[in-house]
Amino acid sequence: STERTFVMIKPDGVRRGLIGEIINRFERRGLKIVALKMVKMDRKTAELLYEEHKGKSFFEDLINYVTSGPVVCMVIEGEDAVQVVRRMIGNTDPKEAPPGTIRGDFALSKSENVIHASDSLEKAKREMSIFFDTSNF
Ligand code: CMP
């Protein structure tokens, strides 16, 4: 069925000039961008987004990284969008992400991995509501 998922191009993706390349991949796949914005996250917003990782060894580094520069947030719509987008992005660890996936083609490490996408419909709703007024769409 038609779903909406949340995607965020992380600061390394923005710094490396990959915004166009990444959006192009989603559009070519027939997915629709229904909301889009560039923001510089404060720590409070980053900690809310990554709440589930609080207490993990990499949490502090993760917050520092995602607040190190602007990110591009978007809501993407399409048939089975949550799963389709996750597959297009590839594994968290770029050495396990196949060529042809965004991380497989561009990511440099497990922590600086270019992009984030929601892993479930519930998370998608939660994450998009952090950045967008979802009553608008
Ligand atoms: P993301 O898909 O946005 O979800 C959580 C993020 O935490 C992940 O991408 C990575 O950027 C980061 N992350 C996950 N696991 C590790 C790890 N073992 N070491 C460092 N960063 C990690």
pLDDT in tens, 6-43: 999 999 999 999 999 999 999 999 999 999 999 999 99
The ipTM (two decimal places) reads: 0.91
Domain boundaries, the chain: 2-40+70-136
pLDDT in tens, 67-101: 999 999 999 999 999 999 999 999 999 999 999 99
Question: Is domain 2-40+70-136 annotated with CATH 1.10.3720.10?
Answer: no
The number of C-alpha atoms within 13 Å of 26 and in the hemisphere containing its C-beta is 30
Is the dihedral angle over the CA atoms 21, 93, 16, 46 positive or is it negative?
positive
| Pairing relationship of beta strands 71-79 and 2-9 according to DSSP bridges | antiparallel
Count CB neighbours of 55 within 10 A. 6
Select from 78, 87, 86, 83 the least CA-distant residue to 2: 78
Cα 107 to the center of its chain, rounded Å: 13
116 versus 137: the higher-pLDDT residue is 116
For the sheet containing 115-117, what is the strand order?
Answer: 32-39, 71-79, 2-9, 115-117
Instruction: State yes or no: 103 annotated in a binding site.
Output: yes
From the list 116, 128, 131, 132, the catalytic residue is 116
User: What ranges make up the beta strands (E) of the chain?
Assistant: 2-9, 32-39, 71-79, 115-117
Q: Phi first, then psi: what are they for 73, rounded to 5°? A: -100, 140
Q: Is 62 in the pocket of ligand 1 (CB under 6 A)?
A: yes
Q: What is the pLDDT, as a whole number, of residue 136?
A: 83
Q: What is the pLDDT, as a whole number, of residue 87?
A: 98
53 is catalytic: no
